[in-house]
Chain A
Amino acid sequence: GQNIDQPTEMTATEGAIVQINCTYQTSGFNGLFWYQQHAGEAPTFLSYNVLDGLEEKGRFSSFLSRSKGYSYLLLKELQMKDSASYLCAVRDGDYKLSFGAGTTVTVRA
């Protein structure tokens, strides 16, 4: 089976930075995805890493270390609208994604 771990909850202040860690143990690896899911809405794609290193996209960055089975999602200049659940997902085959349970981020004023 697949094992993907991420913290359950994180709280941060508006304007701050938050880093959400994800560790994984999977039978194969073909990329790691981060999704954002607001309450009652569909998950939406944020980032994709398949090679080691940092991918930056505006206020959001994602890092991957394949040798360590580790990724993080960095959210900078936090805004109230960033309050959501953040899902780490590992692709272990041609189509199959295995998801972590998600990290609920609460941004306080």
Chain B
Amino acid sequence: KNQVEQSPQSLIILEGKNCTLQCNYTVSPFSNLRWYKQDTGRGPVSLTIMTFSENTKSNGRYTATLDADTKQSSLHITASQLSDSASYICVVRPTGGNNRLAFGKGNQVVVIP
């Protein structure tokens, strides 16, 4: 079973609308959780990072939340733009010397005009 599960798998939203992506993980204990954005044909790029003790982190129109008790994270996109069309990947880094990141399969977002 994958250690990081994301939902919805894909969604289509109208330009200007908001959306929220979900990430549930089982990695424990963990060092940090990142949301990456992957544009078509490109490598993933980090959007936000949160450690165990952080609850929320913003990067422009992107706001990530973290509930370490329920092992859930969300990424909220405000006032979506066409350039937000991408795959958003939740990545959890375990603690300790292990550098093996746990990846979700991503949320595919399509923003339409």
Q: Tell whether A and B belong to one assembly.
A: no
